[in-house]
Amino acid sequence: MIAPLRHRVDANGVGLSVLELGAADAPPLVMLHGMRDVAASLLPIAEPLAARYRVILPELRGHGDSDQAGGYTFEQYLFDLHKVMDTLELPDAHFFGHSLGGQILVRFAAVFPARVRTAILVEGLGPPERPGENDERFWLAGYGQHLLGVLGMPRRQRPLPDLEFAARRLLANNPRLAPERAGELAELATRVNAAGERVWTFDPLVGSVFVARTRRADTEVFWRHTRCPTLIVSGDLAYEYWGSQLGLEWDGRFAPGELEARVRSFPNAEHVALAGAGHMVHFDQPEALTRATRDFLERHR
C-alpha cells in the first residue's frame, strides 16, 4: 500500500488537508467524506480506484487535519472545494460524495456545472421526510430548540479514555464495521490535543451547517440543476441511522415512492441500492460500493 500524498490548501486563511492517490495524469476523481468523518475512511474505496484515476480526498473544514474554523456553512464548503480544485489545477473532475459530502457535491454541481464531469452521491440526499415535516408549524416548533442545541454545543470535547474506547464507540454506532477497521479508524479519527487528551478530530460545531434545518423543497433546486451523469447510491438499512438520529416515534424509512421521486428530480440519474448497507455504506459494504463506483465511472470515463 502506497501512502497518499498530502497537500495543504489555503482557503482564505483556512488550511485544508488534502490526500492524493494515483497517477498525476489520470482522470481526476474528487472524493468527499461525510460529517464527523475523515478523508482516510474512504481509502478502502479510493485505493482500488487509484489504479485508473487521480484520486483527491479533501478533508472538510472542521474535520481531520483541516483547520477548525468555528463556522460552517454550505457556502464555505463550496468555496473550499473550488479552492482545492484551483490549487491542484483541476479544471474539472469526477466526484464522489458521502452524506454531507454528497450534499456539498450536489450544490457544487448545480452552481459550477463546468467543473463536474459526473457525480456519485452516496447516501447524499438527506434524511427521509418525517410525517408532517412540510407543515410550517411542525418545522417552526422545533427550529428554536434545534438552533440553540447546535450552536450552544460546547467547543471543548470530552476526552476519550483511550483508542480502545474510541473503537468501541465506532462499533456501537456502526455494528457492521469490522473490528479491525474500527481500530484503524479510531487512530485516524482521533488526535492528542495540547493538554495531552485524546479527542475526536472534528469540531463539535460542524453540525451548524444544518442549523437552518433545510427542507426538501430548498434542496430540490440543486437536484434539478445537477445535469451531469449522476449515480445515486443508497443503503437498504439506512433507516436505522435516520430513525436513531431523528426518531420521535418515526422509524427512519422513506415513504413509498419517496426515494424514487427524489431520483427522478435529477435530469440524468440512475439509482443503486446496496443490500446490507446502512448510512455508512463505505463501512458496511466497501467492496460493493467500489464496484458500483468503478462501473459507473468506466461507463462515463
Q: Is 248 exposed, middle or buried (0-12, 13-18, 19+ CB in 10 A)?
A: exposed
pLDDT, residue 56, reads 98
| pLDDT tens, residue by residue, 7-41 | 999 999 999 999 999 999 999 999 999 999 999 99
pTM over 0.75: yes
pLDDT, residue 3, reads 86
CATH number of this structure's domain 5-128+205-299, picked from the four choices 3.40.50.300, 3.20.20.370, 3.40.50.1820, 3.40.50.2300 = 3.40.50.1820
Below-70 pLDDT ranges, the chain: 1, 132, 212-217, 247-248
Report how far apart, in Å, the C-alpha atoms of 190 and of each of 3, 31, 37, 155 are. Answer: 19, 21, 10, 16
pLDDT, residue 246, reads 73
Closest CA to 69 of 198, 205, 197, 192: 205
- Angle made by CA atoms 202, 207, 210, in degrees to the nearest 5: 150
| pLDDT tens, residue by residue, 127-150 | 888 776 777 777 777 777 778 877
CB 274 within 8 A of CB 292: yes
Which residues, in sequence order, are bridge partners of residue 8? 17
Closest CA to 120 of 186, 57, 30: 30
pLDDT, residue 212, reads 64
Closest CA to 105 of 254, 228, 216: 228
